[in-house]
A = this chain, B = another copy of it.
Amino acid sequence: MILNCGVTLEKRKLLIQLDGDPQPSVFDQVVAYDAGADVVMSYGGVTPEAIREKVHGAIFTRGPKDLHRTAIFIGGSDVALGERLLAEARKHMLPQFGLRVSVLLDANGANTTAAAAVRAAARHLDLKTTKALVLAATGPVGQRVALLLARQGAEVRLGSRQASKAAAVAEAIRAKEPQAKLEAVAADPAGDLSTALAERTLVVAAGAAGALLLPSSARRSCPTLRVAIDLNAVPPVGIEGLGIADKAVEYDGVLGYGALGVGDLKMKIHKAAIARLFDRNDLVLDAEEVYALGEGL
């Protein structure tokens, strides 16, 4: 594109948004534009079978020297599907001909939100000695928070209404990270949370919008607690008493973070990850790479 002011712009930065949900996320599109993508090409209802055509469309349209101006973002609410889409996308690149594009996986915002939550905790706690409780650990964000905390050396208790579901997630994390110190526990907000909270210095609530996971009374009954992070942006919040805009606000000696408080950092990480995609054409940004980006901010 040539503007009349005499400037030749480079090829536009095209982001191919592949979303497993029927309609591609508005959130991810807005962030992509604000992170510098010139165009977001959005696809909903994406299945693994549909990936080959998309990757070929990405890698066969521009020469290797311009392929860092095309990238793929994998989103959608289903993290497991996102992981399959990512694996499929990698399979159809042709690196032997220099024909590949960079890919970011952030299904359900799981990688960026989890990275931001763990970074926020790391501001106040030494993660190597942290004893964490992740509430709604079976959800997409909860799984990633647990994984990243475990990788940083924390002792992680995974809480879910059904302990068996939490145990299945613990098993999946252990498959990736055999050294992980993990424990599954039943955590019903309407029941007794004292076992789940015992000895915890960090609690992260990663539940669905509008779901209360930790009542004030339970939070106050845990004397070891130092940091409480709530990732639910829609009132009522997940950790009772916290505000969604809280950013290290003290409540009875506990530093509280709300979704918008963590959200600043999540958004910075998300945007940095999108921007990073256009630096090179050979990146694969998954949980660890996204967390590493967060460390640099």
B39:A233 contact, CB within 8 angstroms? no
User: Which of B1, B33, B43 is in CB contact (< 8 Å) with A23?
Assistant: B43
A41:B42 contact, CB within 8 angstroms? yes
Q: Which of A1-52 contact B (CB under 8 A)?
A: 1, 3-7, 9, 11-12, 14, 16, 23, 25-31, 33-34, 36, 38-43, 45-46, 50
How far is B13's CA from A33's CA once the two chains are assembled, in angstroms?
10
User: Which of B6, B58, B62, B209 is in CB contact (< 8 Å) with A34?
Assistant: B62
A contact residues, total (Cβ < 8 Å): 49
User: Counting CB contacts under 8 A, is A57 at the interface?
Assistant: yes
User: Counting CB contacts under 8 A, is A90 at the interface?
Assistant: no
Residues of B within 8 Å of A36, CB to CB, are 1
A145-161, CB under 8 A of B: which get 1 and which 0? 00000000000000000
A7:B3 contact, CB within 8 angstroms? yes
How far is B92's CA from A209's CA once the two chains are assembled, in angstroms?
12
User: Counting CB contacts under 8 A, is A293 at the interface?
Assistant: no
User: Which of B7, B34, B58 is in CB contact (< 8 Å) with A61?
Assistant: B34
Q: Which of A58-100 contact B (CB under 8 A)?
A: 58, 60-62, 70, 97
User: Counting CB contacts under 8 A, is A168 at the interface?
Assistant: no
